[in-house]
Chains A and B, each alone.
Chain A
Amino acid sequence: MNKDLKFLVVDDFSTMRRIVKNVLQDLGFSDVTEADDGKTALPLLQAGSFDFLITDWNMPGMPGIELLKAVRADPKLAKLPVLMLTAEAKREQIVQAAQAGVNGYVVKPFTPATLKEKLDRIFDTMTPK
């Protein structure tokens, strides 16, 4: 697993962004940027060279599902691994995310072990950097 991967963590609750950042750091990933909404995240993704996106669903400006669709619609970002980390656990939303091209889905409250497992599963499908 490449520990130099550049992560973008998107959540409208700053405490959650901080928790995810801490968990990623414990897993060895120190390059973690934060954004508070899909709206602020998209320009960062388009401008920066992020390797991984972790996003919440419910955000006031641009919800995570819309961010995911925008990423998949952009030729420069279409292949970006995206993991949704959200309290939304309704079946139709999970299906919607899967159909929109999400790579992983973790429901809150989560454990570091679950996050690691889902990340590993996505890394296994990624081409080496």
Chain B
Amino acid sequence: MDEITARYGMAVEKLVRALERRDKTAFFVALDEVMRVRDAYVMDRLDELTLNLQSALERFCTDSRLVDLAEKEVPDAHVRLERVLEMTDTAAHRTLDLIEDACPPADRIGRRAGELLSRWRAAGESGGAPRDPALRESVDTFLAAVQHDAGHVHRNLKEVLLTQEYQDLSGQIIRGVMDLIAELEEALRVLVTLTHRGSQNRGSNETVPAVGTLGDAVGQSEIDSLLSSFEI
């Protein structure tokens, strides 16, 4: 309020006095003065804003972090997520391969154990089984256990199959993030082009940093050789 009084006080006082005297000419002169003070205030604020914007843009243009984000880090993030999708897809399919391979034997063992158990018990009742009661009991128990356990394994394998669903659900989330990153990448690229004229576009780096391609990865034998040079 003190600032407003300082700026407008005298002009408003003249305006009020002209109004009280009913002096039309003096009133409009005083009103023009108030408006002139107001315009001068707005111009001062605009000048201040323009200077702030200019120095912000200058800092923006010299900030190399923006270039790093646009040309390296954001494209790398995209490549990393793509790699995660590939890895989870490969792992899920491999798991499904193994489950599909293991289910039929588990099913067969359970079925055959059940069939054999029935025949064994029938033989026991008709006197065709060995006389040793302990042996009969052991075989009976074993066959029943095989039938039960094979069923248990089969059910668990089916459960493992269903849990591979994670790859679809997590993959959809990852794809959503990748779409967002692609938009961000494009926006940053435009920004860098506008503010850093002449900078080279290095393009996205296809090799994922810190997660090398198969060709770059060091194998176990190479690790062993390297460690042996340190006597480890």
Q: Is B38 an interface residue (CB 8 A)?
A: no
CB-based nearest A residue for B167? A15
Q: Is B32 an interface residue (CB 8 A)?
A: no
A13 proximity list for chain B (CB < 8 A): 89, 167-168, 171-172
A124 shortest CB reach to chain B, Å: 25
Residue of B89, B167, B168, B169 contacting most chain A CB atoms (<10 Å): B168
B173 shortest CB reach to chain A, Å: 9
Q: Is A30 an interface residue (CB 8 A)?
A: no
Q: Which of B93, B96, B161, B165 contacts A109 (CB 8 A)?
A: B165
A66 shortest CB reach to chain B, Å: 17
Q: Determine the distance from Cα of A111 to Cα of B89 in the docked complex, in whole angstroms.
A: 21
Interface residues on A, range: 10 to 19
A64 shortest CB reach to chain B, Å: 13
B161 contacts A15, C-beta separation under 8 Å:
no
Q: Is B23 an interface residue (CB 8 A)?
A: no
Q: Determine the distance from Cα of A118 to Cα of B158 in the docked complex, in whole angstroms.
A: 20
Q: Is A78 an interface residue (CB 8 A)?
A: no
Interface residues of B in 119-176 (CB under 8 A from A): 158, 161-162, 164-165, 167-169, 171-172
Interface residues of A in 26-55 (CB under 8 A from B): 26
CB-based nearest B residue for A57? B172
A11 contacts B168, C-beta separation under 8 Å:
yes
B68 proximity list for chain A (CB < 8 A): none
Q: Determine the distance from Cα of A15 to Cα of B168 in the docked complex, in whole angstroms.
A: 7
A19 contacts B164, C-beta separation under 8 Å:
yes
Given contacts A13-B168, A108-B169, contact A19 B93 (CB under 8 A): no
CB-based nearest A residue for B89? A15
Q: Is B100 an interface residue (CB 8 A)?
A: yes
A109 contacts B169, C-beta separation under 8 Å:
yes
Q: Which of A11, A18, A23, A111 contacts B93 (CB 8 A)?
A: A18
A-B pairs with beta carbons under 8 Å apart, 10 shown? A11-B168, A15-B92, A15-B93, A15-B96, A18-B93, A19-B162, A87-B172, A108-B165, A108-B169, A109-B169
Q: What is the interface of chain B, defined by CB distance below 8 A to chain A? A: 89, 92-93, 96, 100, 158, 161-162, 164-165, 167-169, 171-172
Q: What is the interface of chain A, defined by CB distance below 8 A to chain B? A: 11, 13-16, 18-19, 22-23, 26, 58, 87, 108-112
